[in-house]
Structure 1
Amino acid sequence: MPRYADPGAVQWVESGGGPLIAIPETVLPFWAGADGDDMSCDYDRACDVEGFIGLLPVGDTRALVLGDDPASTTYLPEHGVFVRWCAADSEDELLAVVPAALAQAAWEPETEWTVPGPVVLFDAAWPGTASESTDHLRVVLEPGRYGVRAARVEPGPETWVGLVQLRRLTP
């Protein structure tokens, strides 16, 4: 699989073809990925998420599934947003359009996600215990409630970006 931004300004996470998932570090051991004896494994649950985002129970909390497209994804803390590389000629071009894309996004309905702290973004097919030995990104989040909303924006004729924004909610 080609790596679009290798090396680049930010770290991108790739998928083998399925969804990416952001799981709180505290519950990584509870995510079995595509492993398991049941008829429906955790990976199947992630694949069943319709649309850009969804939440799935994992341990005593929930994980955020980035669905719809297995696009390369990074997190930009200065904007509080997962950026999904749908189409662009370069990493510089894609990252340059993020502020404008955020301003013009037609957001889908927001959902609430409570996290106990940092999360790890990786391919949902992997077990959580193997996340550090595969393509992953640790995202530092303060414990608490977040509003999560998603959009797909086409800020240019050859540039498309998926956005999943996390907004800290007041207690």
Structure 2
Amino acid sequence: MASYADQGAVEWAESGGGPLIAIPEVVLPFWTGADGVELASDYDRACDVDGYIGLLPVGNTTALVLGDDPAATAYLPEHGTFVRWCAAESERQLLAGVPAALDAAVWEREVHWDIPGAVILFDAAWPGNDAEKAGHLRIALEAGRYAVRAAYAAAGPETWLGLVQLRQVAPLG
């Protein structure tokens, strides 16, 4: 396994200032981002999510909005967690603090998210068809029902991170 200090070991998705969204890959074309023709675009719906996380319908499934803060976000599969960079002097410092932050986190209420497989994390302002242009992350997840919880936690006196943890609770089907 690559160490967090290795160059390129962790990829980050960033936003232009709004929320990030994780959309099941199979329904990407249904997300219009800020380009919607209706009064309230998909991006507006994502911005309306109150709190750290929320679910929005997209096509015949739902997407997970990472709200509250447009922080750069990575996915650490060994922890089943999206890690959001709120404050740290370096990537190495932030990532080294993840285990302590997971232990110290005061979690918000869980939501349940049914997903058909891999999801794409990207800036919610982009249309799904353009996600590859947006500095996206592809997260290979098994189809299933996931319990999702979020928290902000300190990993040290000057290191703060957001956590969005996924735990599969049942397979789909």
Q: TM-score, normalised by structure 2?
A: 0.93
Task: Establish whether residue 38 from structure 1 lines up as the match of residue 38 from structure 2.
Answer: yes
Query: Unmatched 5+ residue regions in structure 1?
Result: 1-6
Task: Establish whether residue 111 from structure 1 lines up as the match of residue 128 from structure 2.
Answer: no
Task: Establish whether residue 83 from structure 1 lines up as the match of residue 83 from structure 2.
Answer: yes
> One-letter code of the match for 1:16?
G
SS of residue matched to 2:170: coil
SS of residue matched to 1:102: helix
Q: Does the CA-based 8 Å contact 1:24-1:117 persist in structure 2?
A: yes
Task: Establish whether residue 120 from structure 1 lines up as the match of residue 151 from structure 2.
Answer: no
Measured in 2, the distance between the counterparts of 1:101 and 1:8 equals: 22
Measured in 1, the distance between the counterparts of 2:134 and 2:163 equals: 23
SS of residue matched to 1:169: strand
> One-letter code of the match for 1:102?
L
SS of residue matched to 1:93: helix
Q: Does the CA-based 8 Å contact 2:94-2:155 persist in structure 1?
A: no
> Where has structure 1 moved over 2 Å in runs of 4 or more?
none
SS of residue matched to 2:62: strand
Measured in 2, the distance between the counterparts of 1:170 and 1:43 equals: 30
Q: TM-score, normalised by structure 1?
A: 0.95
Query: Unmatched 5+ residue regions in structure 2?
Result: 1-6
Number of aligned positions between the proteins: 166
SS of residue matched to 1:56: strand
CA RMSD, aligned part only? 1.2
